[in-house]
Amino acid sequence: MTQDIQLEIRDAVAIVRLTRPAKRNALSDGLILGIRAMFETMPDTVRAIVLDGEGEHFCAGLDLSELKERDAGGGLHHSRMWHAALETVQFGPAPVIAVLHGAVVGGGLELAATCHIRVADETTFYALPEGSRGIFVGGGGAVRIPRLIGEARMADMMFTGRVYNAADGERVGFAQYLVPRGQAFDKAMELAQRIAQNAPLTNYALMHALPRISEQPADQGFLTEALMAAIAQSAPEAKSRVRDFLEGRAAKVKKD
């Protein structure tokens, strides 16, 4: 496996780190395949994953030095290789929390959009320079980014080279959390530890059922929701958690 990615396990939480800071964690083919291999071979004790990038920037996107003259077929296969790798992140073994800081651009934004939660610090900025480089997104961004910020905003970013800062990025929906500089990793770990305590079927439903339901026509979505709800609530873990609440042993919902 490539040296540009590292795995650290802390109890039920895995920390996956892109370790190519000299190239701003640019995603070479080797690194994309490394991400795929890492998510495919994650130990089955892992219940939540934190994805970080070493250095000042989360990820500068596609490694442009590898952008050779490809014919149409080569370009198609290259993009599909990214799709397959990022699918292992989205539909992998556990929810993924991205630690955003500095540049989250191009394929780096496509990778971030694949994660389930994004925590950004104040240094974060978002861009899709593909537009000005004469190329198009190829790592699933055309599908996933409009789901976060809407098609019109994505088109604007690519037409005009618009860059969103951290505050505006949170406002439009890139990140669910915005924290002071340097604090995104700690916040992501806190969220990961909490998510790791959920009933596994709840996390499964959120990762695998929810995104599919939101793509289904309402009539089919309601049925899929009902099937998933029935499966989740019949698990012994759900029964014992509900009993804990009814018997006063579980936390109430509290105003923040």
> Which residues lie near ligand 1HE (CB under 6 A)?
23-24, 26, 57, 60-65, 82, 103, 105-107, 129-130, 133, 137-139
Q: Which CB sits closer to ligand 1HE, 95 or 129?
A: 129
Q: Which CB sits closer to ligand 1HE, 155 or 242?
A: 155
Residue among 130, 215, 225, 237 flagged as catalytic: 130
In the annotation, is 8 catalytic?
no
Which residue of the chain is nearest ligand 1HE when measured via CB? 106
Q: Which CB sits closer to ligand 1HE, 105 or 209?
A: 105
Q: Which CB sits closer to ligand 1HE, 62 or 179?
A: 62
Closest approach of ligand 1HE to the CB of residue 67, in Å: 8
Closest approach of ligand 1HE to the CB of residue 59, in Å: 8
What are φ and ψ of residue 62, in 5° steps? -50, 140
* Dihedral sign from CA coordinates of 20, 23, 24, 29: negative
Residue among 54, 66, 110, 237 flagged as catalytic: 110
Q: Which CB sits closer to ligand 1HE, 153 or 241?
A: 153
Helix axes 141-149, 107-114, angle to 10 degrees: 70
Closest approach of ligand 1HE to the CB of residue 65, in Å: 5
Closest approach of ligand 1HE to the CB of residue 106, in Å: 3
Closest approach of ligand 1HE to the CB of residue 101, in Å: 12
- Catalytic residue IDs: 110, 130
